[in-house]
Chain A
Amino acid sequence: MSAARAVVTGIGVVAPNGLGAQAYWQATLSGRTGIRPIGRFDTDGFPLRLAGEIDGFTATDHLRQFRVMQTDRMTHLAVAATAMALSDAGLDPADDVPEYGFAVATASSIGGAEFGHRAIERLWSEGPRKIGAYQAIAWFYAATTGQIAILHGMKGPGSVHAAEQAGGLEAIAQARRALRDGARAAVTGGTEAPLDPGALVGQLPNGRLNLGADDPATAYAPFAATARGHVPGEGGAILVLETAEAARDRGTRVHGTLAGHAATFDPAQGLGRPPALRRAIQLALADAALSPADIDVVFADALATRADDRAEARALCEVFGPYGVPVTAPKSMTGRLYAGGAALDTATALLALRDQVIPPTVGVDRTAPDCPVDLVIGQPRAARLRHALVVARGYGGFNSALVVAGA
């Protein structure tokens, strides 16, 4: 992608261990986990019992009652995060941005899981006329972008991106393209609300979830020899982007710059071709016109299955050398948030750049010998941070890498 100066001026976070960027950041630096026994449904007889679940979120605090009824939890979370991000940016979409100059690009992977589940249940138990009037606008993946655009009068390009856990970075990259193509500002990122039995059940056979785990402190232990999969979580983050020029004109504070991005796809197994994560990182660095030595911290994808951890560690070692760069996975405190995950990692990277401190990975005593990465474990680590790399992999072979520069 050609160089585009997209700067981040607003951050909104809805995470299992904190609502709002400040609460989330404090919890993350102090290693406080949001992983807990699932409360959104009765897990008796269900093989998954832990998740990163948001505590104390009331949709009607953030949306009017009629809109709460017309939307799924994924949208409630996104709308709340958007308001936080706009407030953080001090940006009024109606006054500060031209009519068609505000883009919206969000990510989704599961869609409106609970809403869809209720609708389909009513249809199959009470008949097709009982499905409910809002299923057509609540469940589908595009619902969140549409609702944000309506709520804030944002009439620039709108889009929704699905690449499982890599989707958040794809949405951010698309928002950056929108700025390159003439938009002045964009709302971007992603949220997911997958803690529904109908949505979670599909993942049980794929070997990636740590089924049967009961201890929230150790259930998600990426890069450890004890890794047995991850736990799912809900939430995510929304960012406000502006062109550097627009931010300067407003005289607003800038959290950081989106310096480079690239995406690749893994070849099918058996072709003898190498996995493509390393190339995504290298292309993102090239897009940012940076070298590996310029990267001061990596926010890892951290799937926490042994094979996937080894593959990620290998890619990082090939680019940065063994133990060549500090690596962290604060998602060990939230679970993997699917479309919300990489967006939250990007928000976390920006906060780390702001405060010059790397948040820790929890649940891990030491890294496995076959994962030679300098994992920041247990305690935050103060460091000089100029650039952060965010890495994301989506189910099926998606790789995405984003370079973020400090303000």
Chain B
Amino acid sequence: MARESGTGIRRRAVITGLGVIAPGGNGRKAFWERITSGVSAIRGITLFDPAGLRSRIAGECDFDPEAHGLGPRDVRRMDRCVQLGVAAAREALEDSGLDLGSGAHNPERVAVSMGTAIGPATRMESEYVVLSDRAKLWVVDHTYVMPYSYESLIPSSLAVETARLAGAEGPVGLVSNGCTTGLDALGHAAALIEEGSADIVVAGSSDSPITPTAVAAFDVIRATSPNNDDPAHASRPFDLHRDGFVLAEGAATLIVEELEHARRRGAHIYCEISGYAARSNAFHMAALKNDGLDLAEAIRVALGRAGVAPEDLDYINAHGSSTPQNDRHETNALKAALGEHNACRTPVSSIKSVIGHPLGAIGSMEIAACALAIEEGAVPPTANLHTPDPDCDLDYVPLTAREQRTDTVLTVASGFGGFQCAMVLTR
């Protein structure tokens, strides 16, 4: 997707830093160990009392804000999803070796591209409960409103706080495209690099939907798994007995940098963002057509922009949400885009089998997983895949991680609203 700039020099976007806050382990190392172990991080909900719900399990982060450099004032100002995103950004900046406060980098050339599907849901709800006196008042009692209340009502706070951490003065934005959000935020970051609007982009996504309202909203439409008795096996993408996704929280923030800028400072380069495309199915807010043709179109365009042929792919990171319809839809999309032969010979796996589905956060977490797969020469497994669904007949890397040279990776996403996205990452 790189293009000629006015000077004829092609600007390319590479990833030079990673930070992850995830169920089962915070930090990129713990995250990689967890998703390659195939050991589930799903448990009974502890963040609130889930009594009365059909699905009472989730992927929760064990997150101590103080351990991630957030003081009491930060915690008062930031919703949990903002805290997770900022903690991930702090790790990514450290990992990149960029010292943005040092004066070595022009802040006007530093951008931010963040994403969230539902934003500050936790704080929005806790504030509401107080101001409405537990839903007794429609016109809420304004005398109890907190000073930072507006920050907890608008999703752009995630981008604002990330920009302040990074000292960014270039373009700062936030996308909210449901469950494809993370891919879209990184796709936008690559576009900012390629068009010349920035040299460094702090990019990622965060969501923390383990709140009564968000959990209930998915529960009531039976989108989430009711496997409360066996949380560890509830998220089982591509398995015949899958019965819905498992809601989770998390964040990943990455440093996206212009290739020559990264080379000049001797930065460690994980991989290049070489192609990205977004399409819509224009079909239904929640349902998917079985044929997967719209996701297939996004995959074809992303591969074309990357100049990558289907047979060159070493690994595909699936959306693999563990809902009956998604996993079929996605399998068909991969076959339609890559051809039956290439789809069947390429390892495909879903890290949601281990950490669950943190909505908009997952896209950037999956890109982090892909960058680490390229780095480590291994691909994570699809945990809990014991009984293959006859309609899902690709190589899903069941149960155990696989060591293999991994140079060229495709990651895909699909979400409520009909959004379909694909991104290609290359060594």
Which A residues are closer than 8 A to B by beta carbons?
1-2, 41-47, 70, 100, 104, 108-111, 116-117, 119-125, 127-129, 131-133, 135-137, 139-143, 145-147, 149-150, 152-164, 167, 170, 174, 177, 197-199, 201-206, 262-268, 271, 273, 276, 279, 394-398
Known A-B contacts: A146-B285, A155-B282, A279-B169. Give 8 more (CB < 8 A). A128-B53, A131-B217, A136-B223, A136-B416, A145-B177, A202-B145, A263-B170, A396-B159
Say yes or no for B174: interface residue by CB 8 A criterion. Answer: yes
Cβ distance B139 to chain A, nearest Cβ, rounded Å: 5
Query: B153–A265 contact, CB under 8 A?
Result: no
Chain B, range 187-238, C-beta contacts under 8 Å to A = 188, 191, 195-197, 212-213, 215-221, 223
Query: B156–A396 contact, CB under 8 A?
Result: yes
Query: B279–A120 contact, CB under 8 A?
Result: no
Chain B, interface size: which category? 35 or more
| Cross-interface CB contact of A204 among B6, B142, B281, B284, cutoff 8 Å | B142
Cβ distance A86 to chain B, nearest Cβ, rounded Å: 14
Query: B279–A123 contact, CB under 8 A?
Result: no
| Cross-interface CB contact of A263 among B134, B142, B172, cutoff 8 Å | B172
Query: A42–B152 contact, CB under 8 A?
Result: no
| Cross-interface CB contact of B138 among A121, A140, A162, A264, cutoff 8 Å | A121
Query: B419–A161 contact, CB under 8 A?
Result: no
Question: Interface with A: B32-40, B123-131, B363-371, B405-413, which one?
Answer: B123-131
Query: B416–A273 contact, CB under 8 A?
Result: no
Query: A398–B156 contact, CB under 8 A?
Result: yes
Say yes or no for B108: interface residue by CB 8 A criterion. Answer: yes
Which B residues are closer than 8 A to A by beta carbons?
3, 5-6, 52-54, 107-108, 112, 117-119, 125, 127-129, 131-132, 134-136, 138-140, 142, 145-147, 149-157, 159-160, 163-164, 167-178, 184, 188, 191, 195-197, 212-213, 215-221, 223, 277-286, 294, 297, 301, 415-419
Residues of A within 8 Å of B125, CB to CB, are 120
> What number of residue pairs across chains A and B have CB atoms under 8 A from each other?
266
Query: B156–A146 contact, CB under 8 A?
Result: no
Query: A146–B145 contact, CB under 8 A?
Result: no
* Known interface pairs A136-B223, A160-B176; A167-B150 also in contact (CB < 8 Å): no
Cβ distance B303 to chain A, nearest Cβ, rounded Å: 15
* Known interface pairs A41-B139, A42-B139; A201-B213 also in contact (CB < 8 Å): no
CA distance A132 to B131 in the complex (A): 22
Query: A124–B159 contact, CB under 8 A?
Result: no
Query: A149–B418 contact, CB under 8 A?
Result: yes
Residues of A within 8 Å of B54, CB to CB, are 129
Query: A154–B280 contact, CB under 8 A?
Result: yes
For this complex, 7 residue pairs linking A to B, each with C-beta atoms less than 8 Å apart, are A1-B197, A2-B3, A123-B213, A136-B217, A136-B218, A161-B175, A162-B155
